[in-house]
Every structure is written in C-alpha cells, then in structure tokens.
Amino acid sequence: MMSDGRQAMDANQTIGMMRAFDGVMLRYGLFPCEDACATVLIVAGRAEFIEKYAETVADLRRAGYAAAILDLRAQGGSERRLEDGNMGHIERFSDYPRDILDFFLQKVEGKMPGPCFLLGHSLGGLIALSVAEQAPGRFAGLVLSAPFVGIRHDRYPAFVVGAMAWLFSRTGRARQRTARPRGQPARFEDQPHTSDRARYERNIAAAETDPPYLLGPVTFGWLSACLGAIRRLTRPKALAVIDCPSLVLSAGRDALIPANSQARLAARLGARHLVLPSSGHEILQEVDSVRRPALEAILGFFDECLASR
C-alpha cells in the first residue's frame, strides 16, 4: 500500500554527515528494511533534499528494499561554501558523481543489503549516468526519472543557452546567476512541476529549515558544467560502458527537459522507456494516478532485475 503523501521519516534510520574528498561535509540518510532483498541508492535532483524522498523511501521499504540517499553538495543539509549559500553553483560536474561513489563505497556497499540499484531524478539522473559509467559491474539496475539530458528554455534555443553559459563561465562570470532570485517559493499555481498540491506544499514546508533548504537560480558556471557533462555522457561511447539494465521514466508535461532528449537517451542506452503523459517534471511527487504507475514500474523493474541474476 502506498503512503498518502504525508509520510515522515521514522526512527529506524541513520542521518549522518561524511567528509567529501575535498573536505566538504555531506549529509546522508540510510534507511534499512527488515529482510531487504536489495538497496536503492537514490540520487536526488537539484535543490532536493533527503526529506523530500520520505514517501518514496517508505514505499521502497514496504516493498522490501532498503534505501540510501545523499544531499548533494551545496544543497539540503550538506555544506555550502559560497558567500551566498542560496546560490546553485558547482565548480566541476565531476564532484557530483565522485561524492555519490564515495558515499556508496563508504556507507552502502558491504554495509547494506546487496545488490544495489541506482535511482536518479532530473540532475540526479545525469549524475547516476556518470556513476554507472564510472563503476561498471557495481549496480544491478539503473532507473532515471525525467533525467537532465537536455534543456528547454522559454526564450532561447538550447544552443544559445549553452553558448552563453560557456562564454560567461570563461570570462570571470561563472558565479553570476542565470536569473533573478525569487523572494519566496513559487505558489503552487505558478509552478508546472507537479499537479499535487498536498505534496508540493509538504515539500516546501519540509524545506523551511534554518538555513532553508530551498535554492535560488543556478549560476552560469553550474549550467556550463552540466551541459558539458550532458554532451559527454549521452554519446554512444559513454553509454556503451553502462552494463546494467535500465529504465527511463519521462513526464509528458515536462517543462524543463525536452522529450526528444530523453527518448534519444533511452534508445542509445537500450533502456525500457515509460512515458507518463499527464505527469509534470517531478514524477514521484505527482498525484497518485500518475505516481502509482511510475512506482509500480520501478518496483517491477527491480524485481525483474533480481529474478534474472
């Protein structure tokens, strides 16, 4: 039975901090499950945090899967080193997959029930692709939810956005924001990412910590680094290294990631591809009529992977 969208983290968990390769402190969560058949390593998207996945973690555990998740550097409860901790910035994309692999090796592999699956959403999907490429043979399966493998912009074509990001990041303006920051989180009516008001407002409330988890706009440096990673990781040569079964979930109403970019990735990866026509970008934060088939597809995929081992 799926939870109702108000699921909170329970006492049977570990929330801790670990030191990254460069000294940055990263917040992580480990969620064991009695008699677990495997562990799901969740790679969150930009501006997301552990608590936003409480409902998904609960669903996984009810299905017999333990879960592990890391707050990406400079977001959630992980350390932020810029003067403005609300800025979405990263110096090198490679820091993301290195953090995830270090977390996996230090806290998950050999300590939580194997085998391990990767489940990445949006930016986390791009990071998960990089992790799977760098660590062939370590994961039993890969699920990508609305993966960040392209960019949709209201005013400019994608190639113009990429050129601007490249130019700004190489002319001393890498830490300049790509947009003006909002004073407050978007109202439910003003955002296109989920049609579930209860889940949206629950996540906004969960982010109201001190300091708050919510992030402002990304920088040109962040955008340039991620677009470079997309170009590299979506080439057939890079995808050919990924040796585990894969599933791509796409949102039919995705306002951020172009549908053709996701379809092309699925084809090149040889992945099973499920399109959810009425879903916004945040598939696992959608209304039950959208979220339920997505979750069932994920769990069914995991079960099939285990049965074929």
Considering the chain, what is the average pLDDT of its residues? 91
More confident residue, 268 or 86: 268
| Residue ranges covered by each domain of the chain | 14-83+94-151+233-307
- Note the pLDDT of residue 130: 98
Would the pLDDT of 309 be above 70?
A: yes
Residue 9's pLDDT is: 56
Give pTM, 2 decimals.
0.93
pLDDT at 84 over 70: no
Residues 226-233 have a mean pLDDT of 95
* pLDDT greater than 60 at residue 8: no
Looking at residue 224, its pLDDT comes to: 92
- pLDDT at 210 (0 to 100): 76
Q: Three-state SS string across the chain, please?
A: CCCCCCCCCCCCCEEEEEECCCCCEEEEEEECCCCCCEEEEEECCCCCCHHHHHHHHHHHHHCCEEEEEECCCCCCCCCCCCCCCCCECCCCCCHHHHHHHHHHHHHHCCCCCCCEEEEEECHHHHHHHHHHHHCCCCCCEEEEECCCCCCCCCCCCHHHHHHHHHHHHCCCCCCCECCCCCCCCCCHHHCCCCCCHHHHHHHHHHCCCCCCCCCCCEEHHHHHHHHHHHHHHCCHHHHCCCCCCEEEEEECCCCCCCHHHHHHHHHHHCCEEEEECCCCCCHHHCCHHHHHHHHHHHHHHHHHHHHCC
Q: Using the predicted structure, report yes or no on whether residue 67 has a pLDDT greater than 90.
A: yes
More confident residue, 2 or 189: 189
Asked if pLDDT for residue 23 goes beyond 90, the answer is yes
**pLDDT computed for residue 7 by the predictor:** 45
What CATH topology corresponds to 14-83+94-151+233-307?
Answer: Rossmann fold (3.40.50)
Q: What is the pLDDT of residue 207?
A: 92
Interval 286-304: pLDDT, tens: 999 999 999 999 999 999 9
Across residues 109-131, what is the average pLDDT?
97
Q: Note the pLDDT tens digit of each residue in 245-285.
A: 999 999 999 999 999 999 999 999 999 999 999 999 999 99
pLDDT digits (tens, 9 = 90+) for 121-161: 999 999 999 999 999 999 999 999 999 999 887 677 777 78
